[in-house]
Structure 1
Amino acid sequence: MEISTIVIVAVIAVFAIIIGVGIGYALKRKMESASLDAGRKTAEAIVADAKKEAENVRKSAELEAKDILFEGKNEFEKETRERRKELQALEKRVQQKEENLDKKFEAIDRRDAEFQKREKALAAQEKKVKDTEAEMEALIAGQKARLEALAGISAEEAKRMLVEQMENEAKHEAGKLIKRIEEETKAEADKKAKDIIALAIQRYSGEYVAERTVSVVNLPNDEMKGRIIGREGRNIRAIEAATGIDVIIDDTPEAVILSGHNPVRREIAKQSLERLITDGRIHPSRIEEIVSKVESEVNQAIMEAGERAIFDTGLHGIHKEIQKLIGRLKFRTSYAQNVYSHSMEVAFICGVMASELGLPAKTARRVGLLHDIGKAVDHEVEGPHAAIGAELAKKYGESAKIVAAIGQHHDDTPENIFGILVQAADTLSAARPGARREMLESYIKRLDDLEKIAKGFGGV
């Protein structure tokens, strides 16, 4: 009983499930059918809206195309009108140019006609001139034949005699003219030279201190001579060995004489001895110490003197060795004239004269400053100081014209213009009253004579 009930219940349940599934399927189908109808209606509505929108877009595109076409048409017509105007203007210019060319061609035709007319006239005139020349030549030939018959000589002979006479007269006149020009030129050159020399002397005023060829050292007393000599002469021998200068001690009161050919060594000896006297300690080791110190100081002073001379003369680019030689001239004398000061004076005089003659003043001053550098070593090197100086200048890089001028400044006929200038300036500097000791007495005598002449007049 219980099992049948269970089976019945199970069968009922199965049928219930089957019925439920069928009802669900039927409901689903019905719902899907309703959904398809709704979708179809929606699609139809969308298609209708799309067609309507497409129609609107088409109409809008047609309107826009019509506007673009209209604007393009207007723009084309405008460009066409402007182009037409340009073409008309161009056509007008071409027409004007054609008219101008026509006028020019007409003018050329007229000128050509005038030229041909003148050419014909000139040809006729030329023919007339040739005919006249032929007549004149025939007439001259006849006259010439008659003159030759009357004179008894041929035309060639007469021409030769006339040419000789004219040549002699021309030579005579040319000789007179050349002589007059030479006299005038010489007078003018003398005047110009005197003016230049006077100007050079006026514009430079130097001072000289005449140096002795020997150096004298003053002593505080004669007892100092014994200390300088030293025991068995060892001090004086040490001084002479260290300086290369002879120390002369004689009867001269309170003085010692230093003698030597080298002015720089003599100056070193002089300063060294003066310091030893002041210091009071005079013995060989102290002598060597003082001489070494003074030698360094003098060499430094030499370089400074050379540098100062180069600066004062406005020069540059001079080799250090030449600068040293210039400084050494400060201790060199020639006829008691200081060569350093003399070189400075010659440099300035050369510069002034060169400026007056239109020559480079710096080059002239350079030659003047260096012209006597050979004297700085002429006691060490054989030969004339001019040749020595030229060789040194060449060795240390001076230009060929500077070297030539230095080498020629004592020649009778220097070929270099700067050699002539430095020769003149050198002579002026040396000939100045008081510049050289050997000339001093003659100048004083001349001054005395001038004073006597002046006093010979009343009221003087």
Structure 2
Amino acid sequence: MTDIVVIFVIFIVSFFLGWLINSLLGKRSLTTAKKKAETIIQDAQSDIENLKKEKILEANEEAYQQKQKLEEEFRAKRNSLKTLENDLLTKDNNIDRKADLVAKKERDLFINERELNNREHSLNNRQKSLEESIEEANKKLEDLSGLTSAEAKQLLMENLTEEAKKEAAHLIYQISQDAKANAKDEARRIILSAMEQIVSNHTIESTVSTVSLPSDDMKGRIIGKEGRNIRAFEIVTGVDVIVDDTPQAVLLSAFDPYRRELAKLTMERLVSDGRIHPGRIEEAHEKVISEMDDHFEEIGEHTLHEIGIHGFHTDIVKTLGKLKYRSSYGQNVLQHCREVSELAGILASELDLDANLARRAGILHKIGLVVPKANESNFSKAGHEFVKKYGLNPIVLNAILAYGDKTEANSPIPILIQIAEEISQKRPGARREVIESYVKRLNALEEAADSFEGVRNSYAIQAGKEVRIIIDHNKADDAVSNQLATDIAKRIRKQVDSNNQIKVSIIREFRSVDYA
């Protein structure tokens, strides 16, 4: 019990001591807090005073700037008003001066008008006096000459008319002579200018093409066993194959450029492939023929691009490409047409005509030479009918028709085409008559052979010394073949003028094919 009392007493004493200490510490904290609060309040009041002063300064500064701005605007408006006032004063002064000038001019006009009236009156008086004097002089002249004034006037008019006619005739003659002289000089200048601008590497068509070989061993494969391959190649292509000592090359000879080109492409394909035998030769030749349309189109497009012509139909482009394998008097027809086109374009430009139409007409003027069923006599009409369906310009159509036909030209363009044609043909070395007669003779040999029934193909080879004819085996037997050779030889002797003996070879082949 005593322990509990002691503990209780200790607790009470401790509580009292704690309360006393806490009271003392609380008073000190309160005093410190009051001091801090007073310090914070003083600092806040100081900050407020400073902020207030700053705001007042900013407001004063802004008010000052606004005042300055208003004063500047006021000064500017005042200056503007002064300027307007000065302008108005200047205008008033100008108006006053102009009014004075107008008044002065009115006075001058009045004075001038009065002077003019006086002069007019004086001139009228003089005119009357002159008319009276002229009338008196005319009466005296009539009395002296015995002619009335009307008769004298008629005589004078007749004399003047006759003199004017003589002078006019002389002037017309002089102008005509000058025009003729100038026309000749101008025509000579234009043609020479056109010829100078055309740089044409003209080449004479050859009858031989060269095929390069990778080695001379290939010649043996081309000839084949006992000449089997070379004979098959000549029969299929219709050209002569010349195998001589020329290193790594064989020659293909034929007067027809198209036939020779087919043979060349076939030979190149066989050499590249390496397989050469009769069946492969026929296959390669047929393949080349089937691809020639694309080849013609490529040639035509290249030619048109070089001379700056576009917009032709594909059929015209292909047909134009065929002209590369046509020659006339030893002159390549496509090269000739290109030259005529360029010359006609230059001549048209010199004469202020449509150069594009002239070039189009020039490149197409001989297209009828390769149109089916056309010949030398009607190629212009055939070419006209061929291109007409593709909607070409009527001037171009007329130029094509007028070149080889008697159709009248409807514009100067056809005449320019004929002039360009003459320039191209008459150049030294452009044409060779001997080659043309040679080609015509070989064509005549083939035409004579083709006129017989049963003839499938005929080829004039060996420079016209042999005609090789391929016939259908089911239309002729051996006896008929012998008789056909005799008949063809007789017709050739009758129709073709030749001093040499011509060999007629009939080839009749029967082939059976089967597959195992």
Which TM-score tier does this pair reach, normalised by the shorter chain? 0.5 to 0.7
1:185 aligns with 2:179: yes
Which one of 164, 175, 178 corresponds to residue 169 of structure 2? 175
Which structure is higher in helix share?
Answer: 1
- For the Cα contact (< 8 Å) 1:350–1:361, is it kept in 2? yes
Paired with 2:78 and 2:430, the residues of 1 have a C-alpha distance of 103
- For the Cα contact (< 8 Å) 1:258–1:269, is it kept in 2? no
Gaps of 5+ in 2: 1-62, 212-221, 241-250, 437-516
Deviations 1:282-307 (A, max 9, x none): 35xx5653332111333232122112
The residue aligned with 1:97 is: 91
| Correspondences of 1:275-294 after superposition (within 5 Å) | 281-282=277-278, 289-294=283-288
Paired with 1:314 and 1:307, the residues of 2 have a C-alpha distance of 10
- For the Cα contact (< 8 Å) 1:332–1:339, is it kept in 2? yes
Deviations 1:235-274 (A, max 9, x none): 96xx5xxx9xxx699xxxxx999798xx756754786589
Over the aligned positions, Cα root-mean-square deviation in angstroms equals 4.7
Aligned AA (2:422): T
Paired with 1:82 and 1:227, the residues of 2 have a C-alpha distance of 111
Q: 1:248 to 1:90 in 2, by over 3 A?
A: closer
Paired with 2:196 and 2:80, the residues of 1 have a C-alpha distance of 85
- For the Cα contact (< 8 Å) 1:303–1:327, is it kept in 2? yes
The residue aligned with 2:329 is: 335
Normalising by structure 1, we get a TM-score of 0.61
- For the Cα contact (< 8 Å) 1:378–1:384, is it kept in 2? no
Deviations 1:310-349 (A, max 9, x none): 1221333333222212211011122332211111221232
Shift of residue 124, structure 1, vs aligned partner: 1.4
| Correspondences of 1:286-435 after superposition (within 5 Å) | 289-359=283-353, 361-377=355-371, 379-380=373-374, 384-410=378-404, 414-435=409-430
1:115 aligns with 2:131: no
1:201 aligns with 2:195: yes
Shift of residue 179, structure 1, vs aligned partner: 1.8
Shift of residue 109, structure 1, vs aligned partner: 1.2
- For the Cα contact (< 8 Å) 1:347–1:369, is it kept in 2? yes
Paired with 1:308 and 1:83, the residues of 2 have a C-alpha distance of 79
| Correspondences of 1:155-304 after superposition (within 5 Å) | 155-203=149-197, 204-210=199-205, 228=231, 239=236, 264=258, 268=262, 281-282=277-278, 289-304=283-298
- For the Cα contact (< 8 Å) 1:408–1:416, is it kept in 2? no
Q: 1:297 to 1:143 in 2, by over 3 A?
A: same
Q: How many residues align?
A: 347
- For the Cα contact (< 8 Å) 2:204–2:332, is it kept in 1? yes
Paired with 2:268 and 2:94, the residues of 1 have a C-alpha distance of 109
Aligned AA (1:329): L
Q: 1:115 to 1:380 in 2, by over 3 A?
A: same
- For the Cα contact (< 8 Å) 1:401–1:416, is it kept in 2? yes
The residue aligned with 2:447 is: none
Deviations 1:60-102 (A, max 9, x none): xxxxxxxx9xx99xx99x97x9989977876665455334323
Larger radius of gyration: 1
1:125 aligns with 2:119: yes
Shift of residue 105, structure 1, vs aligned partner: 1.7
Aligned AA (2:312): I
Aligned AA (2:389): K
Q: 1:91 to 1:168 in 2, by over 3 A?
A: same
Gaps of 5+ in 1: 1-67, 250-254, 442-460
- For the Cα contact (< 8 Å) 1:327–1:340, is it kept in 2? yes
Paired with 1:354 and 1:82, the residues of 2 have a C-alpha distance of 73
Q: 1:88 to 1:256 in 2, by over 3 A?
A: closer
Paired with 2:321 and 2:348, the residues of 1 have a C-alpha distance of 25
- For the Cα contact (< 8 Å) 2:374–2:382, is it kept in 1? no
Paired with 1:89 and 1:299, the residues of 2 have a C-alpha distance of 89
The residue aligned with 1:14 is: none
